[in-house]
A and B are shown apart, each in its own frame.
Chain A
Amino acid sequence: MAAYQPIPQRAYYKYLSPSIIVLLLLTVLPVLFTLYLSTSSLSFASPRPERFIGLRNYSRLLDDSRFLQSIPVSALFIVAPVALQLVLGFIVAVIMNERLPGMRWLRYVLVAPMVIPPIVTGLTWRVMFTPKLGSVNYFLSLIGLDGPSWLTDANWALTAIVIVAVWGWTPFVALMFLAAMQSFPDELYEAAVIDGATWVQSVRHVTLPLLKPTVTFIGILRTMEALGIFPIIYIVTAGGPAAATETVNFYAYVSGFSYLKVGYASAIIVVFFFMLLLIIGPTMRFLLRNFQVDD
Chain B
Amino acid sequence: MKRRSNITTICLYAVGIIYGLAILGPLVWILLLALKNALDAFAYPPLFIFEPTFEHFIAIFQDPEFRLAFANSVVIATGSVALAMLFAIPATFAITIMRGRARRNSLLTILLIRMVPGMIYLLPYFVFYSRVDLLDTHIGLIIIYLIFCVPLIIWTLTPVWGAVPLELRESGMIDGASLWQILYLIELPLVRVGIIASGIVAFIFAWNEFLFALVITRKKTVTLPVIITRYMGYEGYEWGKISAAAVVIMLPVVVFGFLIQRYMITGLTAGAVKG
- CB <8 Å contact, A105 and B20: yes
In whole angstroms, how far apart are the Cα atoms of A231 and B17 in the complex?
Answer: 29
Across the interface, name the chain B residue whose C-beta is closest to A164.
Answer: B26
The answer to whether the Cβ of B39 comes within 8 Å of any Cβ in the partner chain is: no
A133 interfacial contact with B, CB 8 Å:
yes
Which residues of B from 124 to 177 have beta carbons under 8 Å from A? Answer: 124-128, 143-144, 146-147, 150-151, 154, 162, 169-170, 173-174
Confirm or deny: A2 has a beta carbon within 8 angstroms of a beta carbon on chain B.
yes
Given the known inter-chain contacts A18-B90, A133-B239, please indicate yes or no for A292 contacting B273, CB distance below 8 A. yes
Q: Does B15 contact A (CB under 8 A)?
A: yes
B68 at the binding interface (Cβ < 8 Å): no
A133 surroundings in chain B (CB, below 8 A): 33, 41-42, 239
Binary B-proximity of A53-81 (CB < 8 A = 1, otherwise 0): 00000000000000000000000000000
Interchain CA distance A284-B232 in the complex, whole Å: 41
What separation, in Å, do the CA atoms of A30 and B99 have in the docked complex?
32
Chain A proximity of B11: nearest CB distance (Å): 9
B268 A176 Cβ-Cβ under 8 A:
yes
**Is B115 a contact of A115 with CB atoms below 8 Å?**
no
With A27-B147, A124-B29 in contact, is A186–B1 under 8 Å at CB? Answer: yes
Query: Distance (Å) between the CB of B225 and the closest chain A CB?
Result: 4
Q: Which of B58-66, B188-196, B204-212 contacts A (4 or more CB under 8 A)?
A: B204-212
A156 is an interface residue with CB less than 8 A from chain B: no
Interchain nearest-CB distance for B253 vs A (Å): 5
A219 CB, nearest partner CB in chain B, Å = 11
Shortest distance between the CB of B213 and any CB in chain A (Å): 9
The interface size of chain B toward A, counting residues with CB under 8 Å, comes to 112
Q: A42-B127, A200-B8 are in contact. Are A171 and B210 (CB under 8 A)?
A: no
Inter-chain contact A12/B97, CB cutoff 8 Å: yes
Shortest Cβ distance from residue A191 to the other chain B in the assembled complex, whole angstroms: 11
Closest to B172 in A: A7
Distance in angstroms between the alpha carbons of A27 and B112 in the assembled complex: 11
Which residues of chain B have C-beta atoms less than 8 A from A114's C-beta?
A: 257, 264
User: How distant is the Cα of A30 from the Cα of B275 in the complex, in angstroms?
Assistant: 37
Are A33 and B124 also in contact (CB < 8 A) when A23-B113, A291-B273 are? yes
Q: Are A117 and B207 in contact (CB under 8 A)?
A: yes
Question: Does B120 belong to the interface (CB within 8 Å)?
Answer: yes
Among candidates A26, A112, A230, A280, residue contacting B23 with C-beta atoms closer than 8 Å: A112
Q: Of B87, B108, B204, B261, which contacts A284 at CB under 8 A?
A: B108
Contact residues, A1-27 vs B (CB, 8 A): 1-2, 4-7, 9, 11-13, 15-16, 18-20, 22-23, 26-27
Interface contact B91-A253, CB-CB below 8 Å: no
The residue from A253, A272, A292 contacting B272, defined by CB atoms under 8 A apart: A292
Extra inter-chain contacts (7) besides given A127-B30, A193-B2, A292-B104, CB under 8 Å: A2-B174, A110-B23, A116-B249, A117-B250, A252-B123, A293-B271, A294-B271
B residues whose Cβ falls under 8 Å from a Cβ of A: 1-5, 8-9, 12-13, 15-17, 19-20, 22-27, 29-30, 33, 41-42, 44-46, 87-88, 90-91, 93-95, 97-100, 102-104, 106-110, 112-113, 115-128, 143-144, 146-147, 150-151, 154, 162, 169-170, 173-174, 179, 183, 204, 207-208, 210-211, 214-215, 224-225, 228-229, 232, 239, 242-243, 246, 249-250, 253-254, 256-258, 261, 264-266, 268-275
The 9 A-B pairs with the shortest beta carbon distances in the complex, nearest first, are A228-B117, A115-B257, A117-B208, A30-B124, A12-B94, A19-B91, A15-B90, A16-B94, A15-B94
Residues of chain A whose beta carbon lies under 8 Å from any beta carbon of chain B: 1-2, 4-7, 9, 11-13, 15-16, 18-20, 22-23, 26-27, 29-31, 33-34, 37, 42, 88, 91-92, 94-96, 98, 100, 103, 105-120, 123-125, 127-128, 132-135, 138, 167, 171, 175-176, 179-180, 183, 186, 189-190, 192-193, 198-200, 202, 209-210, 212-214, 216-217, 221, 224-225, 227-228, 230-231, 234-235, 249, 252-253, 256-257, 262, 265-266, 269, 272-273, 276, 280, 284, 287-288, 290-295
Q: Would you mind naming 29 contact pairs between A and B with Cβ atoms under 8 Å apart?
A: A7-B173, A12-B98, A15-B91, A15-B179, A19-B110, A22-B150, A26-B144, A31-B124, A42-B127, A94-B12, A95-B15, A96-B16, A107-B261, A111-B257, A111-B258, A125-B26, A128-B26, A132-B44, A175-B265, A193-B1, A198-B3, A199-B2, A224-B117, A230-B117, A235-B229, A262-B123, A262-B127, A276-B116, A294-B271
